[in-house]
Amino acid sequence: MRLALTTEQVQHYDLPIIDKWDARTKSYHDAVETEALGQAEIIRLLEEALQAMLPEPLDDVEARAEEQREAIRRLLE
């Protein structure tokens, strides 16, 4: 899976854009220095993107799983 920042995010965070050598194409191209965001912000953006891919919110799945575990506990008593 690949995840990219949008142009709007690059502008919002005022991220530096550098010329980067690509050995595959043997040419330079623009590259965004995402490390300038910092680890915490990168993780937050990644979690946000992953949550958006889920068919339902993770909190709902976790709540349903807990309800199912509780029902099983009651059956085993």
Interval 32-58 mean pLDDT = 91
Mean pLDDT value across residues 38-51? 92
2 band by pLDDT with thresholds 50, 70 and 90: confident
* 34: helix, strand or coil: helix
Provide the residue ranges of all domains of the chain, joining segments of one domain with +: 7-76
pLDDT tens, residue by residue, 23-44: 999 999 999 998 899 999 999 9
Q: Residue 18 pairs with which residues in a beta bridge? A: 31
Q: What does each C-alpha distance from 40 to 1, 15, 46, 47 come to in angstroms?
A: 20, 15, 10, 11
Residue 2: helix, strand or coil by DSSP? coil
Taking the C-alpha atoms of residue 56 and residue 52, their distance in angstroms, rounded to an integer, is: 9
> How much is the pTM?
0.60
Residue 16 — φ and ψ, nearest 5°? Answer: -70, 140
Say what the pLDDT of residue 4 is.
86
What type of residue sits at position 32? V
